[in-house]
Chain A
Amino acid sequence: MNNYFKEIFKGVWEKNPTFVLGIGMCATLAVSVSISNALWMGVATTFVLIGSNILVSAIRNITPSHIRIPIFIIIIAAFTTIVDLALKAYQPSVYKSLGIFIPLIVVNCIILGRAEEFAAKNTIFNSILDGLGMGLGFTLNLSVLSIIREITGANKLLGYQLIPGMKPALLMILAPGAFFTLGLLLWGMNVIKARTARFKQTE
């Protein structure tokens, strides 16, 4: 039981996709402008991630290693298109606000990275847990980034104005703001990691 939790939790902290592995950056930087975008993007990516992990893991023993990349891409593209069509048909307003970033899940390196690094080497059940954890970590990253950026850059939270009449710092909602926030969060995370490591040493 403990092992399963570890498998999920590693995506959130120890092997966090954006902050530790450094993958999935473009989607993180682009979509984290509002919390609702961030959550839907997280849900869509998690679905594709779990689906592709399951399939990649299921066929890992019959996949010839020299053509594994095209096979992974086919699987990921199929799942992404399914999400794309489903959102278009049943959640048109979400599809409208996320726009181009849903089809771009195909090239999100988190998914290909996890297929290559984890799902191709582990059992189906572990791959599901890995996908769930990584998706959770990714959603969390997006949410934290987008909360900071939506408050500072648009003076809003969940689409509602925070302080009436105050001019927001527009820079924060543009690309540079994403880099600043990401940098600060990375710094904070590394400080916490260094502190815990030192604490363990002195024990």
Chain B
Amino acid sequence: MNTFQMIKAILVLTIIGFIAAFSLSFMNKLTTEPIAKQNQEKKLLSLSLVLPSYTIQKENTVTIDGQPFTYWEASKEENKVVKKAWAFIAEEKGYGGPVQSIVGIDDTGKILGFTILSQSETPGLGARCTEIASNKTFFDHLFKNNGSDTEQIPWFQVQFIGLDINKPINILKKGDWNSTIQNILLQQNAVTAITGATITTKAVTLSIEKGAQKLKKALTLHEVKQ
């Protein structure tokens, strides 16, 4: 290889690298705003979803066990009594990466709402934790035009509502969730696992248990300060 060829190779590679970097930075600039907006909207929507009818008072970030922990305080007035509620972000390693969710609990320790913020589980298995169940069959959808689905919250996330975080959350294998097994699950403080993705289910329940403990610590810290 002579010098001319070498210089040419370096030049071509540099120019192409430069063009690629330039177009990517342009694309990045173009999409930063919509992505940030979407994340913000998602967060607000999630908060209103996990704390229905409550108003968010403030957002707190404290350091617990060397890690930052974010939680929200909310309240509502019911029969002239102010009821408090909290929401926190729970995170635990699943099968394909961290599963991040947001959990809302009331002052008795019951889960008011639960929604998954981000996950990178296997599509078709663990990723079904965000699946929205439809009670219509494919043929109903094709041949009977009886309006749109009313159910908008994914079934996996619905089953957490009403569980008690002061007790351990059990995992049962009863197949996909439906309203008929709801009572059995609530009695045993349990959720039904996603078929073929028990690891994902475990990660979610573990993250809620750990997050609840952190929230308790954070609240006692807060009281001590006052």
Binding site for B on A (CB under 8 A): 30-31, 33-34, 37, 59, 62-64, 66-67, 70-71, 74-75, 77-78, 81-82, 85-86, 88-90, 92, 96-101, 153-154, 156-164, 167, 170, 173-174
Contact = CB atoms under 8 A, between A and B. Distances in A.
Interface residues of B, number: 39
Contacts of B38: 89, 92
Contact of B27 (A64, A85, A96, A100): A85
Given A90-B34, A162-B137, A162-B139, A74 B124 contact: no
B82 interface: no
Contacts of A62: 12
Contacts of A156: 138
Contacts of A37: 123-124
Given A71-B13, A81-B24, A161-B137, A64 B123 contact: no
Contact of B31 (A86, A97, A154, A173): A86
A82 B17 contact: no
A67 B20 CA distance: 16
Contact of A71 (B12, B118, B137, B141): B12
Contacts of B8: 64
Contacts of B134: 159-161
B127 A99 contact: yes
A170 B13 contact: no
Interface in B107-150: 118-121, 123-125, 127, 130, 134, 136-141
B168 interface: no
Shortest beta-carbon contacts, A-B, top 9: A33-B124, A160-B138, A89-B31, A78-B20, A89-B34, A85-B31, A161-B137, A64-B9, A157-B138
Contacts, number: 104
Nearest to A153: B124
Query: Chain A interface secondary structure, helix, strand, loop or mixed?
Result: helix
Contacts of A78: 20, 23-24
Given A89-B31, A170-B195, A161 B136 contact: yes
* A160, A162, A173, A174 pick with most chain B CB within 10 angstroms: A160
Contacts of B1: 66
Nearest to B8: A64
B149 to A, nearest CB: 10
Contacts of B127: 96-97, 99
B16 A75 contact: yes
Interface string B176-211: 000000000000000000011000000000000000
B123 A99 contact: yes
Nearest to A85: B31
B213 interface: no
B123 A101 contact: yes
Contact of A67 (B9, B42, B125): B9
Contacts of B172: none
B28 interface: yes
Interface in B74-115: 96
Given A82-B27, A97-B123, A173-B196, A160 B137 contact: yes
A157 B137 CA distance: 9
